[in-house]
Structure 1
């Protein structure tokens, strides 16, 4: 979790150069980075990495500690064959292993990490499910059906209120929170929906066949295709694909604010800075004083969509994927790592 959060009043301030200065091309993979930063492709769809054929359409992702090393988990947004895979990194950054942690599921878009070090992989298909996966590969993934059956996009855990926020990929989708009976156990609990009044109301039948969850509460607030989300410092940030907006739900004051447009996915660094993937094939940084500026660009991947931003546990490396790669096809996905002097 970030130690800081954005200020809660006033507009964002656009700047030409962020805290790391201007950008310049780096290497031959299309990355354009600030001075002092380096980048590499750690996995490509259809190619072997540590003995595993990396999945197509890499999407949402997260990092987990692994002794002195770490693990990056990535979803696959493919119909019927989606699932998720993991890359295990040694302390020196070399890739030590790669393996599947979820298979045979449908359109695994985004998701979210839990404080107890599991990965919530969300199915975007009709009556999609949330699967709780073991990023270390020791335990089989399990569906968490009490979290509802709908077009799940992403999940973000709020350990302060002991709830999990959930987004829905429908043009009239909702913003939910799941209240488990016991924090750390997602098998049972109560699904609630954010309402126009600003409060939360229970969804009567989260897995109903005949009446979708989003239509069961009359006062439910609607969002145009809610997408990625991330909780940090008392705020759940989420994006909407219809208008590519970035929203901030302040869980402490129960207030909602639209911060900016042109955003697809969001994560936070230990510094409190937000990092957002943009429609323009770049990543911007939003600082706690509400300044927004370019952090990187990816050239030669027009229309590919950047997804899955996540920091290594020590905050020194940023991972993300180009979901369709330079060819613009799901089978050409590229997963990147950027290393450098990120702010502490």
Structure 2
């Protein structure tokens, strides 16, 4: 178990009970005070939007022509390129950590120094995907999961992180989860971890820490084996909502 989850359990939060029953244990939510998912509130009472709901995006103005990054933004907004596939995001810290391909689901986490961590899934399909989806056995000679875990991130899925200081400077980049494939979407938990799943027919769900020293990812068998998508934690109603991506042609 990673240090973050140990701290959660030390404070009285029963992660095992929650993940076994997909319900919160009795009592208040005990969240690590130094690392929480940004915007992790319950969203108000009633389980839905209030009558007076109005999106803040409605008032930011029309989109302008594409900027130098090829992105159309409203007036007053800017963009910044942070990581490029096949290149180290922070070479002065770790020149050997290469950013992954096929970024998909992501989440942000506040840190106690006023900064934040952004985690990103890689939906890259490695050779284990071909093998696992081939009932004929033609591709059985391809890599197994243990071997795939040793390959660079652009050969498979997984989760990586970018860490920022309080001024928004990119100060670190590192892997959070390796040895998985086709990691699609996921969801941040109130206790400061990232749940994500493999979008293949017998995919698994995992929970990892966004911290550089957060420990190994934990498999979550309670979510079953299927093409996983995202999760959302409903604190007020003690539930997790989980979606899957079903191929209607098979």
Superposed pair shares fold, TM > 0.5: yes
Please say if 1:24 is aligned against 2:24: no
Q: Which runs of 4 or more aligned residues in structure 1 lie more than 4 Å from their structure 2 counterparts after TM superposition?
A: 2-5
**Distance in 1 (alpha carbons) for counterparts of 2:65 and 2:245:** 35
Aligned: 1:152 with 2:228: yes
Equivalent in 63, 67, 70 of residue 116 of structure 2: 70
Choose which of 55, 58, 68 in structure 1 pairs with 2:103. 58
Q: Quick one: distance in 2 between partners of 1:119 and 1:28?
A: 32
On the 8 A contact 2:122/2:184 being kept in 1, the answer is yes
Q: What TM-score do the two structures reach when normalised by structure 1?
A: 0.46
What residue number does 1:308 align with?
Answer: none
Query: Does 2:77 correspond to 1:37?
Result: yes
Structure 2 equivalent of residue 103 of structure 1: 178
**Residue aligned with 1:53, SS:** coil
Number of equivalences: 168
Q: Which has the higher strand share?
A: 1
Given the alignment, which residue of 113, 120, 123 partners 2:195? 120
Report SS of the residue matched to 1:62. strand
What is the RMSD computed on CA atoms of the aligned residues? 2.5
Deviation at 1:7, TM superposition (A): 4.9
**Larger proportion of helix:** 2
Deviations 1:144-166 (A, max 9, x none): 00111111011111111221111
- The structure 2 residue matched to 1:6, chosen from 46, 49, 57, is 49
Give how far 1:2 is off. 6.9
Equivalent residues of 1:26, 1:38 under 8 A apart? no
After TM superposition, give the deviation of residue 27 of structure 1 in Å: 3.5
Name the SS of the counterpart of 2:60 in structure 1.
Answer: coil
Counterpart contact for 1:82–1:103, Cα < 8 Å: yes
Query: What secondary structure sits across from 2:222 in the alignment?
Result: helix
Partners in 1 of 2:58 and 2:241 — Cα distance? 30
Aligned residue for 1:140? Answer: 216
Quote the offset at 1:171 in angstroms: 3.7
